[in-house]
């Protein structure tokens, strides 16, 4: 795969989903539209010029190399029945601190771009973003483009490479979506439209009210008044959907209806520790039926790839719980799990975990025979030490639950992986012999701690170079992301399976077809 375009093909029609705010529903709606137009027999591709997320997937890169894109574009590609690849999200920013992100261009980490100031970066990357979009337009019938945040952030407009600059370049027919459940939806829509230059307002073809609860007749006369002021019709009112089945792109997603609409941003690092009690994040999502397993996922500040736990929300008898304090894990049974997920800043998140006192809670749970799973950065935390000779992540002692040591290297491992588990014991014995499909994204290289091996303390390698288990059998660390998206793994561990992604995508497409005004979706591609 290269950036060359197909000669002689009519460029794709571009539909763009903009939002009045982050969390308005852009990713969700883009995914639904990808499947809707694919169901019409059209060749469809998603696109997002720049994404900021630590949820990333490994996909086809340039000239045969593996690369990274945001998880949202990965799922949008699957919804479009397209092969996910790096042109669909040419620029990915992976936050490593509040004021610093690792920059991934066309799937590969770029140290020069990472070092550039935010505004200075746009002029450098725009030609490659435009080339990626033009190539997708040349190869498809429809490209569904997702914006970022709001297009009306006037402080960012001059250096914009993800919203209206993309819309103008692609002559996109734009939908502006707002979260009506937050309140102020009509003011958000009007204010966003009013702050755009006149030529960009002309690209807005419809307003979308998302996450609506109540009697739709009570909305009148607001949509009519809004159209009189802007000339833009409100073309869809989409109901709140609590269990649509699509992983959230960012934040910890709390499915408890009393908490609101969905995305719960992680609070400041010290907030929960100062509060002393259980955090609001620990309200669990429970599937129907008697609960047999609580899966407590530690939500540290730089958590990454948390979307891979979405399938657990759909397994009967499993309760998924996000935790950030010792009080959150109090009362766990040995049969319950504590999961240390991926991290974009392993050493910093490990220091945070210790500051909360969660290290003691995890050790106590493991000491009672409780199940502990570490994934990628979580695996690295479970070992004895983190060693960072090149300043990649940070040095520090590990939790000491596996006799392993991790050395961070400048070269980043990015690949899709298929491998079979060897013989496991204890909690994880059902995985023995199971072939799992997933992906790896990590700077660390992990191996047995030599001094501990000399004393007879040896981790059991259960997937060469990828997974290790403690002798007692209750602690498992793996580099493989995506375990719970693998049907064979879910069946082995729980004797159950989650709904297929195709079923989820078709449900989304059916929803937008019902809730858009008749003829609107066809008119957008006419």
19-to-30, 77, 297 alpha-carbon distances in Å: 11, 20, 30
- Which residue is listed with tokens 């199971």? 434
Q: From 480, 482, 68, 118, select the one nearest 308 (Cα to Cα).
A: 482
Can you read off the two tokens belonging to residue 442? 């990590």
- Token digits for 200? 């960009």
- C-alpha triplet 400, 401, 406: angle, nearest 5°: 60
Residue tagged active-site, from 376, 442, 443, 449: 376
Sign of CA pseudo-dihedral 439, 443, 446, 452: negative
Helical axes 26-39 vs 71-79, angle rounded to 10°: 20
Measure the CA–CA gap between 177 and 432, rounded to whole angstroms.
47
Strands 467-469 vs 460-463: parallel, antiparallel or unpaired: antiparallel
SS3 398: coil
Set 169, 205, 442, 481: catalytic member: 481
CA-nearest of 92, 72, 94 to 84 is 72
Reply yes or no on whether 174 is catalytic. no
34 is catalytic: no
d(CA 147, CA 19): 7
d(CA 423, CA 154): 58
CA atoms of 478 and 380, how far apart (whole Å): 9
User: Crossing angle for the helix pair 71-79 and 501-515, nearest 10 degrees?
Assistant: 80
Q: Tell me how far apart the alpha carbons of residues 418 and 431 are, in angstroms, rounded to a whole number.
A: 14
Write out the E strands in 36-162.
44-47, 50-52, 56-60, 66-70, 91-97, 100-105, 108-109, 142-146
Q: Which of 48, 46, 67, 47 is nearest to 57 (CA)?
A: 67
CA-nearest of 462, 472, 459, 458 to 431 is 462
Backbone angles phi, psi at 52, to 5 degrees: -115, 110
CB atoms within 10 A of CB 83: 12
Give the separation between CA 126 and CA 393, rounded to whole angstroms. 29
Cα separation, 163 vs 17, in Å, equals 9
Please write down the HEC assignment for all residues of 131-176.
HHHHHHHHHCCEEEEECCCCCCCCCCHHHCCCCHHHHHHHCCEEEE
DSSP string, 442-467: EEEEEEE-HHHHHTT---EEEETTTE
Known catalytic residues are 376, 481
């Amino acid at each position: 795969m290269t950036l060359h375009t197909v000669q002689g093909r009519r460029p794709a029609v571009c539909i763009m989903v903009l939002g009045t705010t982050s969390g308005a529903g852009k990713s969700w709606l883009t995914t639904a539209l990808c499947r809707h137009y694919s169901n019409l027999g059209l060749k469809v591709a998603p696109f997002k010029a720049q994404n900021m997320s630590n949820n990333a997937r490994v996909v086809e890169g340039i000239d045969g190399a593996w690369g990274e894109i945001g998880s949202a574009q990965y799922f949008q590609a699957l919804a479009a029945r397209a092969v996910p690849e790096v042109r669909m999200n040419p620029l990915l920013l992976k936050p490593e601190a509040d004021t610093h992100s690792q920059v991934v261009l066309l799937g590969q980490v770029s140290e020069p771009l990472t070092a550039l100031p935010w505004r200075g970066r746009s002029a450098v990357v725009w030609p490659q973003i435009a080339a990626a979009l033009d190539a997708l337009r040349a190869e498809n019938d429809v490209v569904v483009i997702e914006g970022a945040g709001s297009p009306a952030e006037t402080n960012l407009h001059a250096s914009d490479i993800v919203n209206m600059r993309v819309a103008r370049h692609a002559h996109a027919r734009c939908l502006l979506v707002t979260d009506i459940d937050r309140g102020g939806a009509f003011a958000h829509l009007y204010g966003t439209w009013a702050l755009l230059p006149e030529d960009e307002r002309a690209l807005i073809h419809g307003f979308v009210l998302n996450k609506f609860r109540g009697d739709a007749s009570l909305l009148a006369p607001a949509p009519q008044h809004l159209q009189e002021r802007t000339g833009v019709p409100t073309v869809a009112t989409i109901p709140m959907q609590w269990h649509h089945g699509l992983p959230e792109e960012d934040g910890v997603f709390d499915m408890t209806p009393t908490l609101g609409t969905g995305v719960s941003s992680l609070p400041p690092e010290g907030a929960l520790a100062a509060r002393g009690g259980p955090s609001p994040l620990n309200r669990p999502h429970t599937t129907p039926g008697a609960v047999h397993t609580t899966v407590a996922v530690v939500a540290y500040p730089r958590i990454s790839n948390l979307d891979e736990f979405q399938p657990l929300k759909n397994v009967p008898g499993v309760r998924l719980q996000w935790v950030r304090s010792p009080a959150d894990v109090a009362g766990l049974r040995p049969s319950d799990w504590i999961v240390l997920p991926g991290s974009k800043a392993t050493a910093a998140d490990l220091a945070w975990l210790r500051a909360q006192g969660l290290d003691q809670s995890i050790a106590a749970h493991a000491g009672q025979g409780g199940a502990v799973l570490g994934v990628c950065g979580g695996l690295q935390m479970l070992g004895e030490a983190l060693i960072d000779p090149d300043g990649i992540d940070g040095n520090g002692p590990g939790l000491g639950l596996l006799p392993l040591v991790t050395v961070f290297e400048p070269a980043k491992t990015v690949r899709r992986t298929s491998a079979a588990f060897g013989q496991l014991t204890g909690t994880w014995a059902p995985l023995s012999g199971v072939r799992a499909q997933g992906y790896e994204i990590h700077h660390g290289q992990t191996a047995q701690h030599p001094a501990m091996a000399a004393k007879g303390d040896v981790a059991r390698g259960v997937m060469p170079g990828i997974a290790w288990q403690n002798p007692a059998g209750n602690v498992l660390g793996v580099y493989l992301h995506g375990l719970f998206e693998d049907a064979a793994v879910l069946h082995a561990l729980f004797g159950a399976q989650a709904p297929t992604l195709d079923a989820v995508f078709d449900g989304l497409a059916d929803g937008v077809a019902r809730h858009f005004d008749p003829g609107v979706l066809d008119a957008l591609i006419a």
